[in-house]
Amino acid sequence: MSALLEIDRVTMRFGGLCAISDCRLSVSAGVAHGIIGPNGAGKTTLFNLITGIYRPTEGRIRFKGHDITGWRPARIALDGIGRTFQNIRLFKALTVLDNVRIAYDTQLHYHPLEALARVGRYGRGEEESIARGLGLLEHFGLAEFATLRACELPYGLQRRLEIARALAVQPSLLLLDEPAAGMNTAETAALTTFLRDIRAHFQVTMILIEHHMHLVMNLCDKITVLDFGRTLAEGTPAEVRADPRVIEAYLGDGEA
């Protein structure tokens, strides 16, 4: 079968700096795909390319078989790609519920005039986005915090809310940018279980960037190693772990 996401010879240059160079990546539906690599390897740039925040200098990106290169970020999100950010980007002053509602809102279809007069599809749409938002928060154990502002949540829950918000987009592909950043070993282990549960429950394909090798090796079916914007190696966790180039470039310092 064809891949869910296909990155075809993508290059991204910022002035003289080549952040991503001739990158190829193919992610099949249903897998969890890890992207690892030293800082500055171009991992987050790759996410920004997939989600349309940057437009690639060269190359094409295909999602579900169609070309999404150059689409606006909102269109790509609605097409089914949700993401989280390396440094949490929640809507801080809004309530926890509103954070996920904003993602559900984009799937509602009512006209501004219907909202102004509070008639037509407006009422049902609003009910729906509240109900769906609360349901999602329930699943994530965040329902009791629904009325708090997002910035009032402790760090771990903010991370969790960000994942919930990304899932509210109803993605078939979920991009997680360092979900375990700032977590200790026990928290990371809990996150691994959590992500596994999400994957099963929401039937979502995952690409995750992570520095915690334990999480990546445990969760991912396939791993791509990036270095200086190039694909250094690709394969199953076992293959990648055994690859001498990877050990030299990244794992060599006893990380594994």
Partner 1 sequence: MESVRRFCVRVAECRWILPLLLVIGMGFCVAAESGGLLNSYTRFVLITMGVNIILCASLNLVNGYLGEFSVGHAGFMALGAYAAAMMTTRLFPQMPALFLPAIFFGGLVAAVIGFLLALLSFKTRGDYLALITLAFLMIVKSALENIPWVGGPRGLAGIPTLSSLPITFGAAIVTLWVIRNLVFSKFGRAVVAIREDEIAANSMGVRTREAKILAFSVSSFFGGVAGALLAHQITFINPGSFDILKSTEILVMVYLGGIGSLAGSVLGAVIFTLLSEVLRDFGTWRMVILPLILVLLMLFRPRGIMGLRELPWFLPRRELTSRRKKP
Report the residue from 45, 51, 172, 224 that binds partner 1 according to the rule CB under 8 A: 51
Q: Residue 236: enclosing H or E segment and its boundaries?
A: none
Does 44 contact partner 1 by CB under 8 A? no
Report the residue from 15, 16, 112, 244 that binds partner 1 according to the rule CB under 8 A: 112
Does 202 contact partner 1 by CB under 8 A? no
Report the residue from 58, 74, 238, 256 that binds partner 1 according to the rule CB under 8 A: 74
Does 122 contact partner 1 by CB under 8 A? yes
First to last CA, the chain: 33
Whether 247 contacts 238, CB under 8 Å? no
Report the residue from 29, 94, 247, 251 that binds partner 1 according to the rule CB under 8 A: 94
Nearest-angstrom CA–CA distance, 202 and 214:
23
Does 66 contact partner 1 by CB under 8 A? no
Whether 251 contacts 208, CB under 8 Å? no
Residue 36 sits at φ, ψ, to 5 deg, of -125, 170
Shortest reach from residue 153's CB to partner 1, in Å? 14
Whether 90 contacts 99, CB under 8 Å? yes
Does 108 contact partner 1 by CB under 8 A? yes
Q: Which two tokens stand for residue 217?
A: 């090796």
Q: Which stretch binds partner 1 (CB under 8 A): 23-31, 57-65, 142-150, 179-187?
A: 142-150
Contacts made by residues 236-243, CB under 8 angstroms, sequence distance 24+: 237/34, 241/217
Does 181 contact partner 1 by CB under 8 A? no
Please say whether the dihedral angle defined by the alpha carbons of residues 192, 159, 181 and 235, taken in this order, is positive or negative: positive
Q: Around 131, how many Cα atoms within 13 Å sit in the side-chain half-sphere?
A: 7
Report the residue from 3, 29, 134, 189 that binds partner 1 according to the rule CB under 8 A: 134
Does 153 contact partner 1 by CB under 8 A? no
Shortest reach from residue 55's CB to partner 1, in Å? 14
Interface residues with partner 1 (CB under 8 A) are 51, 53, 72-74, 77-78, 82-83, 85, 89-95, 97-98, 101-103, 105-108, 110, 112, 115-118, 122, 125-127, 129-130, 134, 144, 146-147, 165-166, 168-169
